[in-house]
Amino acid sequence: MFKDKQLDEKQREAVYTEYTNVEVCAPPGSGKTTVIINRVCHLIEDMKVDPLNIVVITFTKSAAHNMKNRYLAISKYKDKIPFFGTFHSLFYKILLEYKHNINIIEEDYSFKIIKNVLKMYLDCVPRQKIREILNDISMLKNKNSSIDNFKSKTDKSVFIHCFNSYEKYKLKNNLLDFDDIQLQAKKLFINNENILNRYRKIFKYVLVDEFQDCDELQLKLLQLVCLGNSIFAVGDEDQCIYGFRGSNPSYMVGFDKYFSEGKKLFLNLNYRSVKNVVELSKNLIMNNKNRNLKSINANKKFIGKIEFFRFEGEYDEANYISKKIIEIVGSNKYNYRNIAILYRTNIESRNIISNFLKRNIKFKFLNGSYNFFEHFICMDIIDYLNISIMEYDADSFANIINKPYRYISKINIAKVKKYPYRENCFDILSNIRNMPVFQIKKILKLKKIVSRFKKMPLDKVIDTIIYKIGYINYLEKLCKKNNIDIAECENILQEFKMCFEKFNDISEFLEYVKKFSNSIKESIHFDNAVILSSIHGVKGMEFDNVFIINCNEEIIPHVNSIPKSLEEERRLFYVAITRAIDNLYIYSVENICGKPKEASRFLDELFPNK
């Protein structure tokens, strides 16, 4: 076949292997998709396998679509096409034959159910918290463990309430989620051997992309279907970064334990990155123990630029990056879209965006968007600031009047919001008939404090809200009640304070927040723009120039992952490094939110001689 000329020695070995159960360990940029597509062509064209007996499983619709198109581009036989799709789409088709009608719950409804429960416990429900609970629900179902023994990141009683409400809603409305589809498929196979055998006769050859991302349930489904058949699993345990979803590198490391007489083959050439980036990444990942020992070499013989700096703070880091990007684009070799800035957590993007706004550098979030000022803590403080310069802002007033709790009833708050004239909200509330005297005193005291904000130094304004008014007390109770990390909330407060103090007055700051938020909304329309993303969001992607920021202890590795998930944090950093094609910029800072931070321990592994 002419396709054979495109394959290197190790790729060819994988494509033409005669082993039944094969794991192909594919380092970054080693051509795993090329191997899978050529393997499919080999089975059909050389082995004369019926395409309908071949199943190619991916983890995203876009990956499945890409593989199908690449197959069609090189295949001689286009009349019958193998199945290309996700785990969920495959088992959906199977279930549909027996249930005849399957309704999938929409993500918006899932979020709404969890949000409605959380609103009973929280005044403000962050989207991130909803996603965290839905991930935990998925993990619980896939592990098939007891809810009593399951360790959620949320308070146990709150999590159980969320879980029960979610499952009851689906049951009442005859809905399934993607986990239900896989669970019911597994139940169908186990309870009916005839059905299982029927699909074993159909799925003679199963090829799995990104095998390292499989969770326990998906692994079990593969074991059921592939018994007596062939599995061709391609992946890289060094890029297993979804432990919070149930993926486990041990499934690749112990492949022969899960699939009879499993044979491991290794791709060894990185076609993506320049030589020194490949060598640097190897310095890091060799420190992990739960991995396959493999040889990884760069196909490119030239070297790119690797730059490491340690800045005093995040502002200096962002300022330097902005200048560097202007320099890179000014060389006329790269466009803005060839540049990616990667970070461990979304909050780290704030300083970058702020600096980009000053220099008119366009940016774009890779997946969704993140606005620091939409965090519930920021929104609360902004509403305090709003009411200090617009005493008639009823929405802001309604949000903060019971933070901390002042026992103002929802009925009286609604009266303020419905008041037909533009008047001071504090006066409207205090003049409501039958308002208790103790509440009137609290309202007028708060009014007096808030009215002074415009005359205060900006650093004292935030301290007054947090400590004198008592917002910190509200926050501590909220965190304790809902198992929210108080240290993380304190970081949000400190980040907000440091940003706020750079302005001359409250009005100027609020105008900046408006401009900041509008720029994020507008960014979705930009084409030639710098990519901003968490490291998790860029797996499988590549960029000519990669900036990795805030390489500090308690960030990468993350404070919540030390020491229990240190190897996964190292894999995450490895994924970030191996996104770079030509140039790699790794930065650390001495202070974050005004607190001294040590450089990441991973930097010593990257640069052992420095």
Which tens digit of pLDDT belongs to each residue from 101-144?
899 999 999 999 999 999 888 777 878 889 889 999 998 988 87
Q: CA–CA separation, 555 vs 570, rounded Å?
A: 12
Write out the binding residues.
26-33
- State the CATH class of domain 9-99+182-267: alpha beta
* Contact present, 336 and 529 (Cβ < 8 Å): yes
Question: Among candidates 199, 180, 179, which has minimal Cα distance to 189?
Answer: 199
* For residues 188-194, average pLDDT: 95
Question: Closest Cα partner for 67 from 40, 44, 100, 46?
Answer: 40
C-alpha span between 291 and 564 (Å, rounded): 16
Do the Cβ atoms of 158 and 482 come closer than 8 Å?
A: yes
Q: What is the mean pLDDT of the chain?
A: 93
Q: Which range, 98-102, 125-129, 201-205, 401-405, is most confident?
A: 201-205
* Distance between CA atoms of residues 102 and 543, nearest Å: 40
Q: Name the token pair of 590.
A: 């001495």
Cα 571 from Cα 240, distance rounded (Å): 7
Contact 1, 41 (CB under 8 A): yes
Percentage of the chain modeled with pLDDT above 90? 82
CA 265 remoteness from chain centre: 30
Single-letter amino acid code for the residue at 561 = S
Domains 297-369+524-606 and 374-512 share a fold: no
Pair 110, 166: CB distance under 8 Å? yes
Please report which confidence band the pLDDT of residue 1 belongs to, taking 50, 70 and 90 as the band edges.
very low
Angle at the Cα of 125 (from 119 to 130), degrees rounded to 5?
100
pLDDT grade for 391, boundaries at 50, 70 and 90: very high
Domain 374-512 in this protein, CATH class: mainly alpha
Q: Which amino acid is at 21?
A: N
Apex 124 CA angle, 490 and 447, nearest 5: 80
Cα pseudo-dihedral 168, 172, 175, 181, rounded to 10: 60
What's the token pair of residue 248? 């486990």
Q: For residue 269, which of 226, 303, 299, 314 has the smallest C-alpha distance? A: 299
- Report residue 453 as tokens: 């904000």
Listed by start position, the domains of the chain span: 9-99+182-267, 106-176, 297-369+524-606, 374-512
DSSP letter, residue 205: E
> 234, 242, 239: which is closest to 209 by C-alpha?
234
Q: Which pLDDT score is estimated for 2?
A: 43
| pLDDT, tens only, 297-327 | 999 999 999 999 999 999 999 999 999 999 9
564 vs 7 pLDDT, higher one: 7
Q: What are phi and psi of 254, to 5 degrees?
A: -105, 40
pLDDT at 186 over 50: yes
Closest CA to 55 of 19, 12, 94, 28: 94
**Euclidean distance between CA atoms 173 and 150, whole angstroms:** 26
d(C-alpha 566, C-alpha 556), whole Å: 9
434: left (phi over 0), alpha (psi -120 to 50) or beta: left
Contacts of 606 (CB under 8 A, 6+ apart): 280, 283, 284, 577, 586
Asked if 284 contacts 602 with a C-beta cutoff of 8 angstroms, the reply is: yes
Measured between alpha carbons, how far is 136 from 326 in angstroms, rounded to an integer?
Answer: 42
Quote the CA–CA distance of 470 and 476 in Å, as a whole number: 10
* Residue 469 tokens, joined: 């008014």
Q: pLDDT digit string (tens) for 346-369?
A: 999 999 999 999 999 999 999 878
- The dotted CATH code for 297-369+524-606 is 3.40.50.300
Crossing angle of helices 566-577 and 275-285, rounded to 10°: 180
Binding positions for ATP: 26-33
